[in-house]
Structure 1
Amino acid sequence: MNIAFVKSTPHISRASGVKQQALSWKHGLEEKGIHVTLINCWDDIDWNIFDIILFFEYGGYLRDFVELADKLKGKIALAPIIDADVSIPKFKIAAKYLGADKLRLHSKFHDLYLIRNKINMFYARSQYEKSFISKGLGVEESKITIVPLSYRIPVSKIGESFAKEPFCFHVSRPADKGKNVPRLIAAAKKYKFDLVIAGGVNDENQKKWLMDMIAGYPNIKYLGYVTDEVLYNYYRKAKVFALPSIYEGVGLAALEAAVLGCEIVITNVGGPKEYFNNMAELVNPYDIDSIGTAIIKLLSGNVVHQPSLATYISEKFSQEQCTLTLYNSLLNIT
């Protein structure tokens, strides 16, 4: 089987979660003998060699590309990556009505709605995301497959014994409003726990914004962008990992932290909680006290989910298991 991977939107961050998802899927499928081509629009491409064209993310030039791909012989699949900060009813209204071709008015929601029937298979990362596709777009459930994201931690690093230290760790794009870093910092200030933040910013203005927030608080430390090896070391050391996002698709960093032994504080909004099997502390991301008390509870050891959580994540969300679900679905696209 020959598959094309197309990313429909641009990104400027090295830590693009969509890019990481696509590369993880590529690696897993190639181990099963499927040839995957990452499409670069500067290349000359023979589109008719592909059995399936798999698009990642909605928005950008997705609609134009799908309408062109619909004229080719290959099937069309889409992993829309719906990290919505709105309810399903509002998403449905935006999808159906927020656009008018005659007036040249477009939105990524309406474009997605217009091409929905040209997609042979949608891939969701959670039941929550699946609901946006089925209820928000009106797609038949038979055309939606849930493929959970897998953690990237090398197998050789899993199962080791780590000496945990009493601090909370967080990694993201800190200036992304969805990651809710200001409230996490406010919780660290109020509840006086040690907090270490990692992740790149786009420019000096974003860095100044972040450094100004933590100035004068020696219990809060910012590392900046870190390599995977440094990141894994912090996962090993941190007793708690917190991801109190306002909106989040999966929270891959929380999965990785969990498999390396961190206790997890995760947003109660959206799909991330589906991955933890009731072995994480769920918080209201808009409530600083909810965030702070959950972190203190886990740092104190009053609630312990490890090592059961690490075992569950390592078995349920390995690349092998998640790739198998994707592989079987791709073989049966009609």
Structure 2
Amino acid sequence: MKIAYLINVGLSVSPYNGIRIQAETWADELERQGHEVVRINPWKTIVWEEFDVVHCIGADRATDVLLMSLSKRCKNIMFSPVIDSIEPIGMYRFATLWGSKRFRLYSVNYAIRLSKPYISKWFVRSQYEFEYVNKAYNVPAESISIIPLSFRTPICEKYPEKEPFCLHVSMLTDGRKNVLRLLEAAVKYQFKLVLAGSVRSNEEFAPLKCIIEANDNITYLGSVSDERLIALYKRAKVFALPSINEGVGMVAVEAASYGCDIVVTEIGGPKEYYSDMAYVVNPYNVDEIGKAVMNAMSESRFQPRLQKYIQDNYNLETCVGKMVNEYMRNR
């Protein structure tokens, strides 16, 4: 097959954007499996009729216009909306209805609703996201496929030796990641916490930095290479992802594939990836986070079963294979 990959421009700003990284990983694996993938550059002239599939990832307020134009040249348009909302579905549905083409009143949600006639198949990453597409946009269930995200790291052949610390990796100053409460839990329960990742500004990082510097059980490593990240996954007993808003949280899935026990938020879709083999917490409750990390640190309830489950179900070949099947079915 010849497949066009078209990502929303907002996802192209940072090379570290998780959705962009996953799209690039998909494209690489599709090529490894023998398909031709064109990463669309808007500055080049594109003959859209040559493609078997156009896969559009992400949306903006002009998505309906884009997909309407594409539909005249390619009849097989797949769409990954990337919905990470924590709004109740009823309120989210209202946002999809609010708008007016006549008066040019647009929201991203409204533009996605207007795009429905041009989309052959909707790809979502979890049952949680499925519910938003199905109920908020009134997309029939048969038009939606759950294509889970895959871990992008090499397979870990055996269960590694673990050290008693909790790892967290993210854009640490992103409030969605809930790092402040994780730090407060580490201070209160005195577990060893290792943080890695970038920060947007020193000003935003200052409140977190004060806590880190005042407590010997907390270490901040800064941004780390993929090689060092894998080494951390192998060593850490626990990986914590207590986010207040998260689509999937692929770093936690990767950590689980290297034998980490997972403490994960109860909000949204991330917990679906662990088949009841994770410690699920209310991310607004510091005590729940702290107690879960301590329990995960002292118990061996889920690993190495979880490692095998993740490797069997969320490896790149399997996940991309499911997507290829949907491409083929809708040709």
TM score, norm. by length of structure 1:
0.94
Stretch moving more, 29-38 or 52-61: 52-61
Stretch moving more, 202-211 or 88-97: 202-211
Task: Report the Cα distance in structure 1 between the residues aligned to 2:41 and 2:208, rounded to whole angstroms.
Answer: 35
What's 1:247 paired with? 245
Taking the TM superposition and a 5 Å limit, the aligned residue runs for 1:89-168 are 89-97=90-98, 99-155=99-155, 158-168=156-166
CA apart distance, 1:59? 2.3
CA apart distance, 1:101? 2.3
The one-letter code matched in structure 1 to 2:82 is I
Task: Report the Cα distance in structure 2 between the residues aligned to 1:189 and 1:220, rounded to whole angstroms.
Answer: 8
CA apart distance, 1:285? 0.8
Task: Report the Cα distance in structure 1 between the residues aligned to 2:163 and 2:91, rounded to whole angstroms.
Answer: 43
The one-letter code matched in structure 2 to 1:93 is F
Stretch moving more, 111-120 or 236-245: 111-120
Which secondary structure state, in structure 2, belongs to the residue aligned with residue 291 of structure 1?
Answer: helix
What's 1:21 paired with? 22
Stretch moving more, 261-270 or 199-208: 199-208
Which secondary structure state, in structure 2, belongs to the residue aligned with residue 215 of structure 1?
Answer: helix
Contact 2:61 2:111 in 1 (8 A): no
The one-letter code matched in structure 2 to 1:19 is R
CA apart distance, 1:61? 4.1
CA apart distance, 1:86? 0.9
Task: Report the Cα distance in structure 2 between the residues aligned to 1:257 and 1:166, rounded to whole angstroms.
Answer: 15
Q: 2:173 aligns with which of 157, 172, 175?
A: 175
CA pair 63-211 structure 1, distance change in 2 beyond 3 A: farther
Contact 2:61 2:106 in 1 (8 A): no
The one-letter code matched in structure 1 to 2:245 is Y
What's 2:326 paired with? 329
CA shift digits 1:205-227 (9 cap, x unpaired): 33434323423112112211111
What's 1:196 paired with? 194
Contact 2:15 2:21 in 1 (8 A): no
Task: Report the Cα distance in structure 2 between the residues aligned to 1:180 and 1:13, rounded to whole angstroms.
Answer: 21
**Corresponding residue pairs, total:** 330
CA pair 183-329 structure 1, distance change in 2 beyond 3 A: same
Task: Report the Cα distance in structure 1 between the residues aligned to 2:269 and 2:112, rounded to whole angstroms.
Answer: 20
What's 1:283 paired with? 281
% identical equivalent positions: 39
CA shift digits 1:234-278 (9 cap, x unpaired): 101111000011121111111110010101101111111111111
Task: Report the Cα distance in structure 1 between the residues aligned to 2:17 and 2:224, rounded to whole angstroms.
Answer: 14
Task: Report the Cα distance in structure 2 between the residues aligned to 1:319 and 1:282, rounded to whole angstroms.
Answer: 25
CA apart distance, 1:60? 5.5
TM score, norm. by length of structure 2:
0.95
CA apart distance, 1:93? 0.9
Give unpaired runs (5+ residues) of structure 2.
none
CA apart distance, 1:279? 0.6
What's 1:43 paired with? 44
Task: Report the Cα distance in structure 2 between the residues aligned to 1:181 and 1:63, rounded to whole angstroms.
Answer: 36
Which secondary structure state, in structure 2, belongs to the residue aligned with residue 278 of structure 1?
Answer: coil
Task: Report the Cα distance in structure 2 between the residues aligned to 1:205 and 1:48, rounded to whole angstroms.
Answer: 50
Which secondary structure state, in structure 2, belongs to the residue aligned with residue 101 of structure 1?
Answer: coil
Which secondary structure state, in structure 2, belongs to the residue aligned with residue 328 of structure 1?
Answer: helix
Task: Report the Cα distance in structure 1 between the residues aligned to 2:302 and 2:145, rounded to whole angstroms.
Answer: 29
